[in-house]
């Protein structure tokens, strides 16, 4: 009987459940989406029960397609990080999950800054204080929802950890996800009790921090009846999606880096030594491998921008991508002078500005739909180039001549070509690149089951697909466009602030 491994990835806009064989081959995959809620400007929420229902639906779809639950040797998890989800003593949801992109906590950021200080906070947590952190949202709940806070028993800090809880009944997380919360002492990989005490928060609400490959529990009879999974099947902790994506992309040494293109995106690499000082736009996380830190420059707008512009022009998601690709192929590099700033929902790197918004610059009556489509991907690519430049400055002499491209956006050949020319380096897309995060979670499961002894062994499973080479002539053109792109945000920043004030009237 062939042994199979199952991965659950709770993403920004959908759940993926993927079944792999032990060589990294995708046996079956299912995906289900769920809505994101915006009850107030800058608020971003999701119903966590919609994640669970999506997982259950995906599992039953896999069984219908012929996957046999008895062949699954273990379950691993991955998911969006930096959330705040309060549960009561019985595990019931008290308030929707507040996502990483939610920017409601400006007052809480000011309170922490006054109470702790920026420098002390960075020295403790490894990151600059930001409204995206779980810590600030927990303080918001305490102040704005005191009746809810009184009955809160647990705070879930990562989306996959809610699914972990539903599968096993254990309230736990991993170091990668924990390091996004603003409550972890990075070097100790444990909760900062002194920070929590100073801010009047109890550590009792927080999850256990387990190793990513650690077995958390097994599927109970009750969960087995609901999901179709086999009772007794082991469930492993997994990791936040930045950690699993990095592992799944083969970033297991300091000489490698990857770009993730999902709804959001990032550029990331690993290193043994944390930075000596804070660099705006660059975040430090615990890697799944305890020998390394994960250096990451996150972007709020990647596939989000692609999906938005497609929807704007009336393309259907099912078959629209192929049509859009063909239309963009007809447009020359530089999109005939149109430049797109992709800040549809603010930005986090290379600067933090929730007020920034998207801009098409250089429109004329000759501008075509194809120009706007291609300019959108070029704009996101310029943001990735800025993120890559941040990482290069951090790495010093360590060069990045090759980038692994993963996530749903890696399916676009036009985007891969643009990135190679804009970033001036070879772009490699692995086979099954859209499932890199799920594969990373599966490698953690394989380590937990004893199939792997070291994370570096996972590199042998990585199979190259497409490779995009640099065209120096096109790269030189993009260098000039990029120089203009970099001038636009500083000029528009005060106008974004004025727009925010006008919009709030």
pLDDT at residue 111 is higher than 70: yes
**How many helices (H) and strands (E) would you count in the chain?**
16, 24
Residue 1 pLDDT level (bands cut at 50, 70, 90)? low
Residue pLDDT, tens place only, 6-65: 999 999 999 999 999 999 999 999 999 999 999 998 899 999 999 999 999 999 999 999
Where are the strands (E) in 117-250, listed by range? Answer: 154-156, 172-173, 184-185, 190-191, 208-209, 215-218, 234-236, 239-240
Residue 277 pLDDT level (bands cut at 50, 70, 90)? confident
Cα 293 to chain centroid, rounded: 16
pLDDT at residue 457 is higher than 90: no
Residue pLDDT, tens place only, 132-148: 999 999 999 999 999 99
CA distance from start to end of the chain: 65
The secondary structure element, H or E, covering residue 297 is strand 293-299
Q: For the chain, what is the mean pLDDT?
A: 94
pLDDT at residue 483 is higher than 80: yes
What is the predicted pLDDT for the residue at 102? 93
3-class DSSP state for residue 347? strand
* pLDDT > 70 fraction of the chain, expressed in percent and rounded: 98
Length of the chain equals 505
Residue pLDDT, tens place only, 66-75: 999 999 999 9
Out of 28-32, 429-433, 491-495, least confident range: 429-433
pLDDT at residue 275 is higher than 90: no
Place of tokens 């100790």: 188
The β-bridge partners of 269 are 257, 295
pLDDT at residue 397 is higher than 60: no
What is the predicted pLDDT for the residue at 147? 96
Where are the strands (E) in 179-276, listed by range? Answer: 184-185, 190-191, 208-209, 215-218, 234-236, 239-240, 257-261, 265-271
What is the predicted pLDDT for the residue at 265? 92
Domain boundaries, the chain: 4-237, 249-505
In this structure, whether the domain defined by 249-505 belongs to CATH 3.60.20.10 is answered with no
- Assigned CATH topology for domain 4-237: Nucleotidyltransferase; domain 5 (3.30.420)
Domains 4-237 and 249-505 in one fold: yes
What is the predicted pLDDT for the residue at 318? 66
Residue pLDDT, tens place only, 167-220: 999 999 999 999 999 999 998 999 999 999 999 999 999 999 999 999 999 999
What is the predicted pLDDT for the residue at 42? 84
Long-range contacts of range 470-475, CB-CB < 8 Å, 24 or more positions apart?
A: 470/420, 470/421, 470/424, 470/425, 470/426, 471/420, 471/421, 474/333, 474/421, 475/421, 475/422, 475/424
């Amino acid at each position: 009987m062939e042994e199979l491994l199952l991965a659950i990835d709770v993403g920004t806009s959908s759940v993926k459940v993927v079944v792999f064989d032990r060589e990294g081959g995708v046996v079956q995959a299912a995906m289900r989406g769920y809505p994101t809620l915006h009850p107030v400007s800058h608020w971003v929420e999701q119903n966590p029960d919609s994640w669970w229902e999506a997982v259950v639906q995906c599992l039953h779809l896999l069984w219908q397609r012929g996957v046999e639950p008895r062949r699954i040797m273990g379950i691993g998890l991955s998911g969006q990080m930096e959330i705040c989800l309060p549960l009561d003593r019985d595990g019931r949801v008290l308030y929707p999950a507040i996502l990483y992109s939610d920017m409601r906590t400006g007052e809480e950021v000011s309170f922490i800054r006054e109470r702790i200080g920026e420098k002390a906070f960075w020295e403790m947590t490894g990151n600059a204080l930001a409204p995206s952190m779980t810590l600030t949202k927990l303080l918001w709940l305490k102040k704005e929802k005191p009746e809810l806070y009184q009955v809160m028993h647990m705070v879930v800090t990562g989306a996959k950890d809610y699914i972990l809880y539903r599968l096993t009944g254990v309230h736990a997380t991993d170091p990668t996800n924990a390091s996004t919360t603003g409550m972890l002492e990075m070097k100790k990989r444990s909760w900062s009790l002194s920070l929590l005490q100073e801010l009047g928060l109890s550590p009792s609400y927080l999850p256990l921090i387990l190793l990513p490959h650690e077995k958390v529990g097994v599927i109970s009879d009750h969960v087995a009846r609901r999901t179709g999974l086999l009772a007794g099947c082991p469930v492993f902790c997994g990791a936040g999606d930045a950690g699993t994506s990095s592992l799944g992309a083969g970033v297991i040494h300091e000489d490698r880096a990857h770009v993730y293109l999902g709804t959001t995106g990032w550029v990331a690499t690993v290193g043994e030594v944390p930075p000596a000082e804070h660099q705006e736009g660059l975040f430090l996380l615990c890697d799944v491998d305890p020998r390394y830190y994960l250096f990451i420059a996150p972007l709020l707008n990647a596939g989000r921008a692609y999906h938005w512009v497609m929807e704007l022009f009336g393309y259907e998601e099912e078959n629209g991508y192929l049509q859009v690709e063909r239309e963009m192929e007809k447009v020359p590099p530089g999109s005939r002078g149109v430049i797109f700033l992709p800040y549809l929902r603010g930005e986090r790197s290379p600067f933090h500005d929730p007020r920034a918004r998207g801009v098409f610059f250089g429109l004329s009556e000759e501008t075509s739909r194809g120009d706007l489509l291609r300019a959108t991907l070029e704009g996101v690519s310029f943001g990735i180039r800025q993120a890559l430049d941040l990482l290069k400055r951090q790495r010093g002499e360590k060069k990045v001549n090759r980038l692994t491209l993963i996530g749903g956006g890696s399916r676009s050949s036009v985007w891969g070509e643009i990135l190679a020319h804009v970033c001036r380096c070879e772009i490699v897309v692995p086979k099954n690149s859209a499932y890199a995060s799920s594969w990373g979670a599966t490698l953690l499961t394989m380590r937990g089951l004893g199939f792997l002894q070291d994370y570096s062994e996972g590199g042998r499973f990585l199979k190259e697909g497409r490779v995009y080479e640099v065209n120096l002539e096109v790269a030189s053109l993009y260098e000039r466009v990029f120089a203009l792109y970099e001038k636009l945000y500083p000029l528009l920043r005060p106008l974004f602030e004025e727009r925010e004030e006008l919009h709030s009237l």
